[in-house]
Structure 1
Amino acid sequence: MSTRWRQITNELLSPLALAAYVAWAVVWLVTIGGMERDGSPWLWPARVAMLVFLAGFLAMVSGLCDSRPGRHLALSLVLGVCALGLTLMRPNSAAAILLVLLAAQMAVYLSGWRLFTAIALVNGLFLGGLFWFWDAGPMAALTTVVAFASFQAFAALMIRSNQTAEQMAEELRAANAELLTSRTLLAAGARDAERLRLSRELHDVAGHSLTALKLNLRALAADPRQSDPERVRLCAGLADELLGSLREVVREMRQDEGLDLGEALARLGLPFPRPALRLDIEPGLKLRGRDRIEAVLRAVQEALTNAARHGPAQELAVHIRPEAGRLQLCIEDDGRAPSEPRAGGGLSGMRERFEALGGEVCLSRSGRGGLRIDAWLPEGEA
């Protein structure tokens, strides 16, 4: 099963969706069952309306129309017509429960005054139907509408609260990823600064003292009054060896050991339950240079955040290879991206970092329908 169909299956089998299916089944049993017993002439239109409502509801829940917002409105209208039609075909039935499902689904795509207006319009039509078709009294009609409207409002608020919580969780994960990246960069910078400080101390203090010791030993060895000149020359030779070793240590300490990319990127993906980060990096590959490290880490961080927020993707694959004098990066998710992706603020910042280092970033749509980022950095200290 492809990732896209696995995602649709997860949406269709979510707890909220399963509860909605149970509610729809109850409406079918009560409404359609009652019409069958009564021999209602509206039996077949009611069956069609129920099935159309279910099909539209499944389409909205699965997210098949996410790429075209206009479909949300069209499906909401279809669901509303079916639900209101059923309430008119079968007075005093459970068909009004479908209006609660409709309100919950509208809350996925609407918010604020738009959601309030849509619910008010549906219930206004419901109230009109009670007067004109059910011939209900004002108090009974108003009580029925208010009762079902309260259920609709509750369902809509629950959906909106859930979406707000998910959005806050995504923002928290993005902030956590930002913090992890900054912490990695700070740790690398701190290690470099400490290594440089120690190398300077060794060179300036110990090196100076050893040089002075070596000169004094040579002077002693040249003194004709020295009783054991061979031992003094031996000490001078040891001082020479120690000074040479010290210079080698200082030279090595001044060299940047680099950052283990695999380890750093694996930590970066930990805050995200989705998408799963799949790394394809040469074992032990290290990157040197703070600017180069930041460019790569920020690129993966931005790709993770985009895939989680706008995809929505289940997997993010990161391929990094040193090839032909370049460090090649390919970042690809399995979410949904437009045919011609455009760089927003984060992706533009990514491109600017790479171009400042002499590299390049290209955006395209992957074979799986998600966003693909191809980038490279020129050969450096890698």
Structure 2
Amino acid sequence: MKSSLLRAILDNAFLRVVFQPLNLPAFLTWLAVGLSLRFDNRADDVWQWLAMAGFGLAFLIGDFVPRNQRALTALLLTSEAICALALTWLAPRGGTTPALLVILSAQLAMIYPARTTLVAMLLIDLGLFLVLRASGHDAALIVVLIFAGFQAFSSLIAHYARRAEEARDQLSRVNADLLATRALLADSARDAERLRVARELHDVAGHKLTAMTLNLRALAADPEYAKRPEIAIAQRLSSELLGDIRNVVQALRDTRGLDLGVALRALAAPMPRPRLELSIADDVHLTDPAIAETILRLVQEALTNSARHADAERVRVAIARVGARLRISVEDDGQVRGALREGNGLAGMRERVAAAGGTLALQTTVRGALRIEAELPA
């Protein structure tokens, strides 16, 4: 009963977000600050509770905002800072309200670079100092310095947690790259073995069966052996066996091909985001490892760019055959920030496609998502 209840809680997406490990200390701190308000002289002031509710609501909403909504994220964080400073103004004697800024500092460190976090917290602490001084606090500077130490500690913890997540994601990408490359190499090795077996059957067994068939035909033309049924049976069996070997050789050649879908899914599987949506037409049949490797690297770079620069949640990849060419279409659901510029990754992608005899076109959609159109020899 308990295990099923726990499983149901963990399967709930809302509860999974709310009870993230870094959120639990924040909720406890927020609750402790709320309980401490009763020690303030104005404990019945409704504005205090409105400020508390505003901070908690902004914090909770921030967990459900997509990463590509940077403006909304900044607005929520600003709202938290305003609510915390307003609460300090309304309840300056409780002494615990600046603890909400410790929560805010951790949030900033999880989202923004260290320099941006430092500048933001210096400005917020300046505001805290001015609020405490204006409310008549006798030791405003000491309070600010004490809580600045807590903020630095929480920021460092959050910063290293973020670095650990980034290192984990990077390790996952490297592992995915190895898995995808191994899948292509395995397919390439199987193709090479099929081709070797097909050639051996054709060149050795086929040659000897042809010679045997010719000798049997010569025996059948001899009047002394022409009436013997064994000669006719041997001729028929050798002809059938030669036909069977040719069919086997043709089947081995026809079944050659690289399983591009397995390699691409192995490439995207370890990445937490974006999610790969892959569509490969039935008539797409690759036998050239170099072309398959080019497509693999193109999709890999597209996934990396979508996660790093567009904050995309999904990347749609479609591969189809158009005449003697392969058309690869890649589009994400993110939003490119600023003008589209080709960095080292996109430039390397273009060079790799050109080296394989293909073309590459980059553009942004109406809603600002990146679209990549590539054509390669089939």
Fold-level match, TM-score > 0.5? Answer: yes
Q: Say if 2:258 and 2:287, in contact at 8 Å, map to a contact too.
A: yes
CA RMSD of aligned residues (A): 4.6
User: How much has 1:308 moved relative to structure 2?
Assistant: 3.1
Q: Tell me the matched-pair count.
A: 362
User: Does 2:309 match 1:310?
Assistant: yes
1:377 match: 376
Secondary structure at 2:98 match in 1? helix
- Aligned residue identity for 1:106: L
CA distance in 1, matches of 2:25, 2:191: 57
CA distance in 2, matches of 1:285, 1:338: 34
Pick aligned residue for 1:34 from 14, 33, 40: 40
1:298 match: 297
Q: Say if 1:87 and 1:95, in contact at 8 Å, map to a contact too.
A: no
Structure 2: gaps of 5 or more residues: 1-13
Secondary structure at 2:42 match in 1? helix
- Aligned residue identity for 2:105: A
2:107 match: 105
2:248 match: 249
CA distance in 1, matches of 2:200, 2:66: 63
1:360-375 superposed matches below 5 A: 360-375=359-374
1:193 match: 192
User: How much has 1:78 moved relative to structure 2?
Assistant: 9.8
CA distance in 2, matches of 1:12, 1:54: 14
CA distance in 1, matches of 2:104, 2:227: 104
User: How much has 1:337 moved relative to structure 2?
Assistant: 1.4
1:212-231 superposed matches below 5 A: 212-223=211-222, 226=225, 228=227, 231=230
Structure 1 stretch displaced more, 227-236 or 128-137: 128-137
**Normalization by structure 1: what TM-score?**
0.71
- Summarize the Cα distance change of 1:113–1:219 in structure 2 as closer, same or farther, 3 Å threshold: same
Q: Say if 2:84 and 2:98, in contact at 8 Å, map to a contact too.
A: no
CA distance in 2, matches of 1:218, 1:64: 78
Secondary structure at 2:376 match in 1? strand
Structure 1 stretch displaced more, 195-204 or 231-240: 231-240
2:9 match: none
- Aligned residue identity for 2:205: A
Percent identity reads: 40
User: How much has 1:186 moved relative to structure 2?
Assistant: 0.5
Q: Say if 1:177 and 1:301, in contact at 8 Å, map to a contact too.
A: no
CA distance in 2, matches of 1:296, 1:126: 54
- Per-residue Cα deviation, 1:86-137 (whole angstroms, up to 9, x for no partner): 3797245222213312321332356668767876887799789989964449
- Per-residue Cα deviation, 1:235-275 (whole angstroms, up to 9, x for no partner): 23532443344234334433463335545544443323422
CA distance in 2, matches of 1:17, 1:149: 20
Secondary structure at 1:286 match in 2? coil
Structure 1 stretch displaced more, 314-323 or 84-93: 84-93
- Aligned residue identity for 1:347: L
Q: Say if 1:337 and 1:371, in contact at 8 Å, map to a contact too.
A: yes
Structure 1 stretch displaced more, 288-297 or 112-121: 112-121
CA distance in 2, matches of 1:240, 1:277: 51
- Summarize the Cα distance change of 1:337–1:87 in structure 2 as closer, same or farther, 3 Å threshold: same
User: How much has 1:178 moved relative to structure 2?
Assistant: 0.9
- Summarize the Cα distance change of 1:59–1:270 in structure 2 as closer, same or farther, 3 Å threshold: closer
User: How much has 1:367 moved relative to structure 2?
Assistant: 4.4
1:155 match: 154
CA distance in 1, matches of 2:333, 2:127: 42
1:355 match: 354
Structure 1: gaps of 5 or more residues: 1-8
- Summarize the Cα distance change of 1:26–1:219 in structure 2 as closer, same or farther, 3 Å threshold: same
CA distance in 1, matches of 2:208, 2:68: 76
User: How much has 1:166 moved relative to structure 2?
Assistant: 1.6
1:86 match: 88
User: How much has 1:146 moved relative to structure 2?
Assistant: 6.4
Q: Say if 1:322 and 1:328, in contact at 8 Å, map to a contact too.
A: yes
User: How much has 1:201 moved relative to structure 2?
Assistant: 1.6
CA distance in 1, matches of 2:85, 2:43: 21
1:128-143 superposed matches below 5 A: 134-136=137-139
CA distance in 1, matches of 2:124, 2:131: 11
